[in-house]
Amino acid sequence: MGYGVMKNHTNLKNRAKAAVAGLALITGATLATATPAYADYNEGLQAYIAGQYEKSIDTWTRYALAGDVRSKKVLGDIYSGKALENVGDAAIPIDKLPIDYVQSLTWYTLAAYHNFSSFQQPSTLEVNDKIIAEQRLPDIRMRMSSADVIKAEKRVAQKFESGSPYDLYNLGFMFQRGAGLKKDNVRALQMFALAKARGVGEASEAYERLEVLMTPSEKKRAAELIEVWQPPLPLEFTGTTKQQEELDKARRELNEIKRAQALEKVADIDVELIQRSLNALGFRAGAVDNELGPGTRAAIRRYQYSTVARNPQMTEEEKRSIVTGTLSALQTVSLFQEAARNQHPMSQYVYGIMHVGGIGVERNGAIAVEWLEKAANQNLAIAHNGLGVIFREGTTGLNEVTPNQSKSAFHFAKAAALGYKPANKSLEKLSFESPRDNQ
């Protein structure tokens, strides 16, 4: 039996729940997901049920702007006159909730093309609301004039353009595919260029693929738009108004929720791997037995003392709170990071897997591959197998890895050659699958 990075496991194909499938360091049946926090959405729901309609819309708007997909979808419902789910006997008060199809199309589109990334592990309800929002787009568009559709699309584009570099990248795809917005290759090329200039690696490939399909005049127009582009003001408001302060607070709350969910999953990392990292750094955890015994606790204290020693400004009370003999989630992340940087191959592997699954850190495909490659270069068979899975399935979150069958086959073959037997079956299965993008 292999050493478990986590006590539970799901296949990476189930992207909403999985960390990485087929890795010997991951054992068990189902990845334990953090309990989603719905205080943001439910706060608006309870106000709606109580008849506090203005408060409900205000609450949902604040959390939708902060990035909550359920609040985005429900605003689409509200402004289209759609009956809400889970409201008991509460009926839509048409006289108090005016129909506004521009608002409805804007929110439905933002929900339909919401990007689950970073720390976020979407719940079933969140995924369902995203799907429902996309299904409702055609009906809303049919009720609107062309001018109002254009108005809503401008609002959607403005929201994405005022967001992160990755939002620019996603907006480029929306323009390129005509998904949620009118197809426009010039605007798509502009967004890909802006995203790649801001560090989104995948945007470079997207830019190159699109550029060869465009005419010289289209490329010239895109270059002109790139030259004069300025980030638009957010949809909501600007300045330091009370509303802006509340929105910033809502965003911080959602980020803390995502961070907390990621840290909760650290508890599923096996003690055995912690012992290996402690030994690699010279803290003498002793035998690797997957037991949190006296020797391991003493090693943890030595590690914690080393942290205290690097921060002489700490008070005695702060030191006592850190040196406990039990690792906190943040300390566990720091331990694996430190051991990985110290060239310990197993810790490099674990730290890479943490970035695939959002375990204590942001999901980030590029960083995951970087650390797994470091471990693989030290002939760690399971690291090659992990890379095989990643290139077979791709990743979610920041800097997504695109499936690449040839790279996947290479790493599975290396893992098999180094004696990792499950890789043989993965390699055999891969040979029967339809070819994927090998760019």
pLDDT of the residue at 246: 62
pLDDT surpasses 50 at 236: no
What does the block give as tokens for 394? 């791709």
Summarize the confidence of residues 51-69 as an average pLDDT. Answer: 84
DSSP 391-436: HHH---SBSPPPP-HHHHHHHHHHHHHTT-THHHHHHHHHHHSPP-
pLDDT surpasses 70 at 233: no
- Average model confidence (pLDDT) across the chain: 79
Summarize the confidence of residues 37-43 as an average pLDDT. Answer: 64
Q: How far is CA 61 from CA 39, 71, 108, 160, in A?
A: 14, 7, 13, 16
Delimiting residues of CATH 1.25.40.10 domain(s) in the chain = 258-432
Percent of all residues in the chain with a pLDDT value above 70, rounded to a whole number: 78
Write the pLDDT tens digit of every residue in 127-136. 899 999 999 9
Q: 51 or 95: whose pLDDT is higher?
A: 51
Which pLDDT band, with edges at 50, 70 and 90, does 219 fall under? very high
**pTM over the 0.75 mark:** no
Distance, in Å, from the CA atom of 369 to the CA atom of 298, rounded to the nearest integer, reads 33
Write the pLDDT tens digit of every residue in 74-119. 999 989 888 777 665 555 555 566 788 999 999 999 999 887 755 5
pLDDT of the residue at 319: 74
Closest residue by Cα to residue 156 from 147, 145, 167, 146: 167
Q: 385 or 438: whose pLDDT is higher?
A: 385
Distance, in Å, from the CA atom of 224 to the CA atom of 233, rounded to the nearest integer, reads 20
SS3 26: strand
Write the pLDDT tens digit of every residue in 343-388. 999 999 999 998 988 888 888 888 999 999 999 999 999 999 999 9
Percent of all residues in the chain with a pLDDT value above 90, rounded to a whole number: 35
pLDDT of the residue at 256: 64
Distance, in Å, from the CA atom of 335 to the CA atom of 347, rounded to the nearest integer, reads 9
Going by the DSSP 8-state scheme, the letter that residue 231 receives in this structure is: P
Could you tell me the fold of the domain covering 258-432?
Answer: 1.25.40
Write the pLDDT tens digit of every residue in 164-179. 788 888 899 899 988 8
Closest residue by Cα to residue 340 from 399, 380, 304: 380
* Distant-in-sequence, close-in-space partners of 142: CB < 8 Å, separation ≥ 6: none
Write the pLDDT tens digit of every residue in 394-412. 887 778 888 898 999 999 9
Write the pLDDT tens digit of every residue in 418-436. 998 888 888 888 766 544 4
Q: 379 or 246: whose pLDDT is higher?
A: 379
Q: 82 or 122: whose pLDDT is higher?
A: 82
At residue 55, what are phi and psi to the nearest 5 degrees? -65, -40
pLDDT of the residue at 192: 93
Q: 140 or 234: whose pLDDT is higher?
A: 140
